Amino acid sequence: MSGVTVRVPAKVNVQLAVGGARPDGFHDLANVFLAVSLYDEVTATPAETLTVTCEGPDADKVPLDRSNLAARAAELLAARHGISPDVHLHIVKDIPVAGGMAGGSADGAGALLACDALWGLNTPRAELLDICAELGSDVPFSLVGGAALGVGRGERLTELPVGGAAGGAAGGAFHWVFAVADGGLSTPAVYGEFDRLNEGVAVPEPAASPVLLDALRTGDATALAGALANDLQPAALSLRPSLAATLAAGTDAGALAALVSGSGPTTAFLVKDPESAESVAAALIASGTCRTARVATSPAAGARVLD
Ligand code: C5P
């Protein structure tokens, strides 16, 4: 077999409710993930030893050593099966790097699925999800896609229906624009800033919003716009105050709502239709408040092997 290619979507958190810091340093979450149609592709081919390469506009920002989640995924899968992770992983990167859109997690899930197919392991889905959770809090969702509620540190998933479709199904219920910022934000730094901003505050137990879940289920963009919420947004804005101007540029241009995507610094704009997506993207680029803007739809399917 020459190689196996897997396509994996980015995500936006339509609700990210964050609890207080736990003794292990993580935070309990009610994290409503929605997969969006920006994708990385990971190709696994047989090799003498484990190597990683990457291409794409931001490829120079992707680590190619064992800190890359794709490499770690290959190592964990091989270790479980008592084999050697002799594979070359090539990543075609289209998801913003360190952008709060789970690009690194996507590569972890993609490599896991690609290696499983290349090595003919047929690892049960539940075991793949365990490995994903070991790789990182957002990695299980990259495998599953669609829409899901993540609890615990975000890794324990329940799939959610969107716009009448099943959670894992691809479709075009919602239209988005993503403003890509210059440089990334470190996820631990943003959670650290969340803790600093909430010092002495009794942070409530995180819970999913019934109004938001209903808006997702019915595919109602206006209702979803009113319910979007990200508890990490004040922390991301505190570390990167210039994001306020990006959020304002998108809403001024007619977006239904704007929020920071996950830990940022990518900002997400929910829009009513594809025409509005194009005009909001053009206005964001013209505003000079972001590096570039990308248009996408959701939900998108999870990681899957391409023919
Ligand atoms: O799980 P992952 O490796 O993606 O997490 C990266 C960092 O984000 C953690 O080390 C932690 O600082 C923070 N985090 C958190 N609570 C979560 C998820 C992530 O504090 N639920």
pLDDT digits (tens, 9 = 90+) for 87-136: 999 999 999 998 999 999 999 999 999 999 999 999 999 999 999 999 99
Query: Catalytic residue at 11?
Result: yes
Question: H-type helices in the chain, by residue range?
Answer: 69-81, 103-118, 125-135, 139-144, 187-197, 210-218, 221-227, 233-239, 243-252, 274-287
- Cβ-based neighbours of 251, under 8 Å, separated by 6 or more: 257, 258, 269
- If you measure from the C-alpha of residue 112 to the centroid of ligand 1, how many angstroms do you get, rounded to a whole number? 20
Report yes or no: 100 and 46 within 8 Å, Cβ to Cβ: no
The CATH number of 1-307 is which of 3.40.50.450, 3.30.1960.10, 3.40.50.300, 3.30.70.890? 3.30.70.890
Q: Is the CB of 27 under 6 A from ligand 1?
A: yes
In the chain, where are the structural domains located?
A: 1-307
- CA 63, 102, 222: angle at the middle one, nearest 5? 155
pLDDT digits (tens, 9 = 90+) for 17-64: 999 999 999 999 999 999 999 999 999 999 999 999 999 999 999 999
Report yes or no: 111 and 83 within 8 Å, Cβ to Cβ: no
304: helix, strand or coil: strand
pTM: 0.95
The pLDDT value recorded for residue 98 is 86
Q: Which atom belonging to ligand 1 lies closest to the Cα atom of 136?
A: 1
- If you measure from the C-alpha of residue 252 to the centroid of ligand 1, how many angstroms do you get, rounded to a whole number? 33
pLDDT digits (tens, 9 = 90+) for 181-206: 998 999 999 999 999 999 999 999 99
pLDDT band at residue 169 under the 50/70/90 scheme: very low
pLDDT band at residue 270 under the 50/70/90 scheme: very high
Residue nearest to atom 21 of ligand 1 (CA): 153
Report yes or no: 40 and 110 within 8 Å, Cβ to Cβ: yes
The pLDDT value recorded for residue 164 is 56
Question: From its phi and psi, is residue 115 left (phi > 0), alpha (psi between -120 and 50) or beta?
Answer: alpha
| Average pLDDT rounded to a whole number, residues 252-265 | 97
Query: Catalytic residue at 93?
Result: no
Q: Would you mind telling me the total number of residues written for the chain in this entry?
A: 307
| Average pLDDT rounded to a whole number, residues 144-169 | 84
